[in-house]
Structure 1
Amino acid sequence: MSKITLRIIAEATGLSKFAVSRALTGKVGVSEETRARVIAVAERLGYARPDQPPVVQTSTIGAVFASEDPVNGEMNIQIQNGLQSEAARLGYTIHAHWASDARSLARFVEGCAGIFSVNIQDKAALAQILASGKPVVRAGWLEPLEQVDHVGGTDREAGVAAGRYLFDLGHREIVFVHGDIDLRGRRERWHGLQEFAASTRGLTCYDLTWGGDKSFSDGLDQILAAGGRPTGFFCGHDGMAITAYTDILARGWRIPRDVSVVGFGDFSAATQVSPQLTTMKIRASEIGRNALRRLDARLRNPDVEFAPLRMFVPNILIERGSAGPAPQQR
């Protein structure tokens, strides 16, 4: 069987080789009707070349996730749900990709009309995505003044809000449970709590970190040995709230009678402990929806010079049973 070439497809469609090439590579200059006809003929004839860039599906949005991201796994699923629901409303298809190697990422990006980059921090992967020339929206932390659309949550505001919430309940010493890894989001939540403490007389805050052969218990023991008597705990992630629960209950302290605990995320663990966890909910599905809307605006208006936007979806305080008035003394 002879090799199927662009000339053969052009003859079968009555178009020029130039038009066929642009249709198959997703470039502008041909109508969607013509593009669909060319693709259908090419597929019927069995046209395929391993080195040919994938055909760009103008209704396909690519969501690129970090290949190793155990901390944000549940949030990423919620983001995907938001993307899918908005895509169904606006007429797009969502394809997900976990960035692992440069070749697979490059090919994936070429086959999409727009890209939502979710917490991708690898510089080489980001460079590939941004160099594609496709509309891109990012979630995650940007370089200062990076000229790209961004959608995310309100980490620093959440820290301020958690501090105010616990302070209004009478807590005057608050521990921020930072954990054994220093992620940018956690750092911003800690900065928000510090910001509130700086403007609030009578409030003391501690940053509890651990690592190596040190544990949460070691960090809390150090605070207590220095004379601290915290009654409020704001945890940088719901998973760390479970760590805090384990230690606090082992000490014989009661939640929320003796100490109050506030988490971050509103993930499944929040309702699987007793008492159920008061937490700052990440509206991850809304992050996905807003990213899709921004990509849709750029794709529908390719000739409009939109200025990049920073979009923030505010967290929500979900009150459950783990927080209450501060005790008079412990």
Structure 2
Amino acid sequence: MSKSPTPEEGASEGLRRRPTINDIARLAGVSKKTVSRVINASPFVRDDTRERIQAVIAELGFAPDPQARGLAYGRAFLIGLVYDNPNPQYVVNMQLGLLDGMRNSGFELVVHPCDRSSPTFLDDLRAFIERQRLYGVVLTPSVSEDERAAKLMADIGCAYVRVASVTLDTPDHMIETRDRLGGREAAAHLAELGHTKIAFLSGPPTFRSSHERRSGFEEALNERGLSLAKAYVAEGAYTYESGVECGRALLEMADRPTAIFAGNDEMAAGVLQAARQLGVRVPEDVSVVGFDDFQIASRLWPTLTTVRTPTREIGRLAVERLMGREDDSRDPKSRLPSLVVRESTAPPAKR
């Protein structure tokens, strides 16, 4: 006589097709609405009920259908990352942070690179949001600093969070990175080493971060009786190539600076390359400081002293705020800039 299957075996055998939310509800002995609440991480479900539903979900390998959920809720379970940024590592780290925050949420990430200078910038952004039927978007610099983009979000009723170096919106729509503090850290470090002839390599003026990093840098220099000479200021583009070009110009000066603060690590890497090309030793002849502390900083030679900005942590926080899942217990200092001292800085050589 053949053995009768257990209820669990029968359930598995009867669900060779893709399981649905109705199947989960039936096997867990709850309503479809309760299953939906568990899938969407609602707090309004008893722990024992949640565990029972999650056990059935795990047993059947159930995965919510984003299209079906979108139809049911009148929107897609998609979050957009919108960026216009020349630094690819920033975009990668931000994506990783967003994905960290979206884990087990049922949401998926879509990205939208754009060009703020394009005459179709706003139309393209609107079309992206409406075509994807997004739940919401995270706007990163320099898009986040464009009031036209924020107004568009409000006009079309799209939830959004802006990541920017200063507060530009209400707290529920903002993550402030406070880049000015990072500029101050760089200036304090170089001044304490004894440098007085210090250059600044800025990013493009269309980025608020360029101005904030310079403002903090100059503030801290002035507090120590130092100043930033106009001849020692160069404008880059947050790219490696602009770092090489501007680095050469600064290092070829007859009275060259003994230290250079570059507005990001890509440009700092370019300055190191320019120094090698010109036979200028780092840090013996010139100290170099970057900003970001992306992976490249610890892989350069010499390794780069830089201001760390926790981009991945900021991305996670931004998307959690967007979804209403923010954990208030985390230390807010964890997302502030901080100096990481490595091999590219030293006291100036005595002449």
TM-score of the superposed pair, with normalisation by structure 2: 0.64
- Structure 2: gaps of 5 or more residues: 1-32, 40-63, 115-123, 327-331
- Structure 1: gaps of 5 or more residues: 1-30, 300-309
Identity over aligned pairs, percent = 26
Alpha-carbon distance in structure 1 between the residues aligned to 2:136 and 2:208:
26
Look up the match of 1:159.
183
Within a 5 Å distance, the mapping from 1:194-209 to structure 2 comes to 194-202=218-226, 204-205=228-229, 206-209=232-235
Question: Aligned pair 1:317/2:332, yes or no?
Answer: no
Look up the match of 2:159.
135
State whether residues 65 and 99 of structure 1, in contact with CA within 8 Å, keep that contact through their aligned partners in structure 2: yes
Look up the match of 1:77.
92
Look up the match of 1:216.
246
**Aligned pairs, number:** 271
2:107 partner letter: T
Look up the match of 1:98.
112
Change (3 A) 1:61 1:117: farther
Alpha-carbon distance in structure 2 between the residues aligned to 1:53 and 1:125:
28
Look up the match of 1:64.
81
Change (3 A) 1:123 1:182: closer
Within a 5 Å distance, the mapping from 1:13-52 to structure 2 comes to none
Change (3 A) 1:264 1:276: same
Deviation string 1:86-125 (CA, Å, 9 cap, x unpaired) is 2215x2413223055245323256x333332223255554
State whether residues 289 and 306 of structure 2, in contact with CA within 8 Å, keep that contact through their aligned partners in structure 1: yes
Alpha-carbon distance in structure 2 between the residues aligned to 1:105 and 1:311:
34
Q: 1:158 deviation in Å? A: 0.7
Look up the match of 1:14.
none
Equivalent in 189, 192, 208 of residue 216 of structure 2: 192
Alpha-carbon distance in structure 2 between the residues aligned to 1:182 and 1:292:
25
State whether residues 260 and 289 of structure 2, in contact with CA within 8 Å, keep that contact through their aligned partners in structure 1: yes
Alpha-carbon distance in structure 2 between the residues aligned to 1:144 and 1:112:
23
State whether residues 280 and 315 of structure 1, in contact with CA within 8 Å, keep that contact through their aligned partners in structure 2: yes
Within a 5 Å distance, the mapping from 1:162-311 to structure 2 comes to 162-178=186-202, 183-202=207-226, 204-205=228-229, 206-209=232-235, 215-216=245-246, 219-220=249-250, 224-225=253-254, 228-297=255-324
Q: State the Cα RMSD in Å.
A: 3.9
Change (3 A) 1:280 1:202: closer
Change (3 A) 1:217 1:324: closer
Alpha-carbon distance in structure 2 between the residues aligned to 1:311 and 1:217:
33
Deviation string 1:233-271 (CA, Å, 9 cap, x unpaired) is 110111111221132233332111121111111223323
TM-score of the superposed pair, with normalisation by structure 1: 0.68
Alpha-carbon distance in structure 1 between the residues aligned to 2:127 and 2:263:
34
Question: Aligned pair 1:55/2:69, yes or no?
Answer: no
Describe the SS at the equivalent of 1:264. strand
* Greater fraction of residues in helix: 2
